[in-house]
Amino acid sequence: MRLLIKGGKIAAEEGPLTAGDVLIEDGVITAVGEDLGAPPDTQVIDAEGKIVAPAMFDAHVHFREPGQEYKEDIAHGTEAAINGGVTGVVMMPNTSPAIDSPAVVRSILERARDVSRIPVYTSGCITKDRAGSELSGIDGMRQLGVVMLTDDGDPVANPAVLKNAMEYATPFGMFFASHCEVAELSGPRALNEGKVSYQLGIQGSPACSEEICMDRDIRLAHAAGARIHIQHVSSAIGMETIRWWKQMGAEVTAEVSPHHLMFNEEDIGDYDTHYKMNPPLRTAEDNAALLEGLKEGVFDLIATDHAPHSTFEKEQDFVSAPNGITGLDTALVSLHDRFVTSSEIGWDLIVKRYSAEPRRMMGLEVVPVEESKPAELIVFDPGGETTFSREFMRSKSINTPFLGQTLQGRVELVVRGSEILLQR
């Protein structure tokens, strides 16, 4: 395949947008520059007024396979990723059975090779069945390529078990990702403890539940000489905890999810379960602080925590409904609509935090739009619009507050190697 993308503005993780054409031949970017000519048999894409950027990478997704394929599966989840400009993902292990052994990892990776058009990586459990007591088959999973260990969905409640796992797995080059909360404080995990929980008459989960566990897990990792990644941070104090530990020299990274940047407890309104997630949406002040932390680099990654649930489940009462929001179809467009159009952030930050750094964390090569690099890029129309209808969404589930909304921005082209994965 020979493809020439003409007239776009190229985004990179450092610096402003630069005008340039991009020539791709046999899956490799062979030329970047202005006014490139089209060799014979070249498909030309008009990107005038559009952004040409490295494809995104999501280091926190739930594909529900095996065990809950009625919510999502690898085939639909990866198509949702492509739909949102994402060409690589890391699955979380809270499936049924849990991804806690070489046998389950092998079946996941074989399934992904059969049904996915993009690379799928998986994390592995820290403990067997995520039960928090006995270590999982860590070395066997490592031999199949697993580098991230997490009991995501829950913390490892026993600090001695977590420290033991860190001391065992760190010499293998593996690292740990922590879902942080203290179960005894979290209550029913329904929403933030504060004025909205009091108004709705539901026991809330205080931010200190997350913050106490976060400090504990980073402290354990620092003592054990381990790398630790803090997942889906939701509070300003949690963010400041991470900043402090980084200053102290701890080997810690952290992610923020689009929904914790955009929404807060006030959005729940009349018990709207589309805004029910764990950790819960906090306050408008937390939104503002987290966005500043993203700009300052306290947060290394943007990750969606893509968490599909069926409509039937989400239509239960607020406490009974499961936590979670889908994100792969919507993340890039919503980030553009909310923050790029208002000049809060630029494309350089999106590329760094939602493309380059997630790949680096996983030990993968980044995919800049540069000569001699493999082609793995998107064309994004900032003047276009995206309506998040059931027909548009590729995820099996549609539990998103964006359903039925039209946002500014549109993913128009996704290229990986010699294949056009998406062309609108």
Q: What is the pTM of this model?
A: 0.97
Give me the pLDDT at residue 149, please: 98
Give the pLDDT score at 400: 98
Tokens of 394: 């590729």
Q: Indicate the pLDDT class of residue 391, thresholds 50, 70 and 90.
A: very high
pLDDT at 1: 86
Rg (CA), the chain: 21
Rounded Cα–Cα distance for residues 76 and 103 (Å): 23
Q: Distance between CA atoms of 82 and 40, rounded to whole angstroms?
A: 29
Mean pLDDT of 31-58: 96
Q: pLDDT digits over 50-88, tens only?
A: 999 999 999 999 999 999 999 999 999 999 999 999 999
Please state, rounded to an integer, the average pLDDT across all residues of the chain. 97
β-pairing, 86-91 with 120-122? parallel
CA proximity to 3, closest of 35, 39, 33, 50 = 39
Write down the pLDDT at residue 193: 98
Give yes or no for residue 212 having a pLDDT over 90: yes
Q: Summarize the confidence of residues 211-221 as an average pLDDT.
A: 98
pLDDT digits (tens, 9 = 90+) for 115-171: 999 999 999 999 999 999 999 999 999 999 999 999 999 999 999 999 999 999 999
> 255-272 pLDDT, tens per residue?
999 999 999 999 999 999
pLDDT of 94 over the 90 cut: yes
Q: What percent of the chain has pLDDT over 70?
A: 100
C-alpha to C-alpha distance for 210 and 205, rounded to whole angstroms: 9
Interhelix angle 74-83/102-115, rounded to 10 degrees, is 60
pLDDT at 209 over 90: yes
Q: Distance between CA atoms of 300 and 256, rounded to whole angstroms? A: 8
- Domains with residue ranges and CATH for the chain: 2-52+371-395+403-423 (2.30.40.10), 56-361 (3.20.20.140)
Q: 160-167 long-range CB contacts below 8 Å, 24 or more apart?
A: 161/126, 161/127, 161/132, 161/133, 161/135, 162/126, 162/217, 162/220, 163/220, 163/223, 163/224, 164/135, 165/126, 165/127, 165/135, 165/138, 166/220, 166/221, 166/224, 166/225, 166/226, 166/228, 167/224, 167/226
Query: What pLDDT is attached to residue 130?
Result: 98
| Per-residue pLDDT at 363 | 98
Q: Can 348 be counted among the known catalytic residues?
A: no
From residue 383, give the alpha-carbon distance in Å to each of 59, 80, 198, 407, 409.
Answer: 28, 22, 42, 10, 6
| Burial group, residue 372, by CB count within 10 angstroms (0-12, 13-18, 19+) | exposed
Look at the alpha carbons of 82, 86, 91, 95 in this order and tell me if their dihedral is positive or negative: negative
User: So what's the pLDDT on residue 356?
Assistant: 98
Report how far residue 412's alpha carbon sits from residue 49's, in angstroms, rounded to the nearest whole number.
Answer: 12
The 10s digit of each residue's pLDDT in 221-232 is: 999 999 999 999
On the CB side of 252, CA atoms within 13 Å amount to 32
Say if residues 45 and 413 touch (Cβ distance below 8 Å): yes
d(CA 105, CA 156): 20
Q: Which of 305, 329, 337, 381 is catalytic?
A: 305
Label residue 103 exposed, middle or buried (CB < 10 Å: 0-12, 13-18, 19+). Answer: middle
